[in-house]
Amino acid sequence: MTKKRKIAVTTIWQKAVWTLAMVGVAVLVWFSVKTQMSRPLEKLQLNIVNIEGSRNLISQEVAHKQIENFLGAPVSDIEFQHIDTKKLESALRSDSRIDDAEVYINGNHVLHVNITQREPILRVKGEKEDYYVDRMGHMIKTVKSTAVRVPIATGAISAYSADWRSKKGHSLHDLVRLANELRKDDFLKALIEQIHIDKSGSITLIPKVGKQKLIIGTTEDLKEKLLNIKGAYKEVVRTKGFEKYDSLRFEIPNQLRAVTAHKLDMS
């Protein structure tokens, strides 16, 4: 055998050995991945971000049950390969109480689920509806035995629809704006218990203490009107004899009118 032929044969054998080695590695990787994919999950690590200063809308127990209902079995019985994290995230986000959900599985086969709740700023109690809204005006369905301390909106409120932002004159334009302004101020947040809209669209704020109704009319010049309310409570409402007034009117910025025995339309 010539020298050139020996070199050619050697090269062929080297390539063959290299190819076999690569195939062997690929088989080992495939087997390892298949083994990992068929392993059951070790546990569920569930984290729910608390709502600041309020009760949670969704509990650990409820969220855990939702996850296992989606999986169709207890977490410890589910194989890694049968979990679609994106679909689980989507299923969790379909709950109106959940703003966002992050799902992933780490190298130890632990299923991590991080949930961020929607934060209610207002409870709407219309003639046929009862729900919360968050700061963006998204509906949050109420759940029995779970109540959040936020102002309650009552009266002639437009029926909720997902496209309410595109509807001129819809009540939520005023209610969401007003509720967001109230929550920015600790004094007003603690003071106002109810927001009432009458049939003409006039808005009245009802405090937690005292009998005076605070009439602001529209949300035009809203910040100025709310500043006037704060000023009235800090300087005027404590005045002797002021308890005889049934309502305080703030429709015109920087102008306060006290009204005796004023009958409000609370229908």
Q: What is the DSSP string of the chain?
A: --HHHHHHHHHHHHHHHHHHHHHHHHHHHHHHHHHHHHSBP-EEEEEEEPPTTS--SS-HHHHHHHHHHHHTS-GGG-BGGG--HHHHHHHHHTSTTEEEEEEEE-TT-EEEEEEEE--EEEEEE-SS-EEEEETT--EEE-BTTB-----EEEES-PPP-TTGGGSTT-HHHHHHHHHHHHHH-HHHHHHEEEEEE-TT--EEEEESSSS-EEEEESSTTHHHHHHHHHHIIIIITTSTTGGGEEEEE-SSTT--EEEETPPP---
Identify any residues that bridge with 205 across adjacent strands, giving them in sequence order.
195, 214
Dist. CA 68–CA 33, nearest whole Å: 25
Dist. CA 239–CA 248, nearest whole Å: 14
The one-letter amino acid code at 196 reads H
- Structure tokens given for 113: 């689920």
Phi, psi of 203 (to 5 degrees): -105, 135
The confidence score (pLDDT) of residue 247 equals 83
Domains of the chain and any CATH numbers: 43-117 (3.10.20.310), 120-260 (3.40.50)
Going residue by residue through the chain (267 aa), what tens digit of pLDDT does each one get?
565 555 555 666 666 667 766 766 555 554 444 445 456 777 889 999 988 777 788 989 999 999 999 988 888 888 777 788 899 999 999 999 999 999 998 878 888 999 999 999 999 998 889 999 999 999 999 887 777 889 999 999 999 999 999 999 999 999 999 999 999 999 999 999 999 999 999 999 999 877 789 999 999 999 999 998 888 877 776 666 667 778 888 888 776 766 655 444 444
The confidence score (pLDDT) of residue 83 equals 82
Yes or no: say if 188 and 232 are a contact pair by the CB < 8 Å rule: no
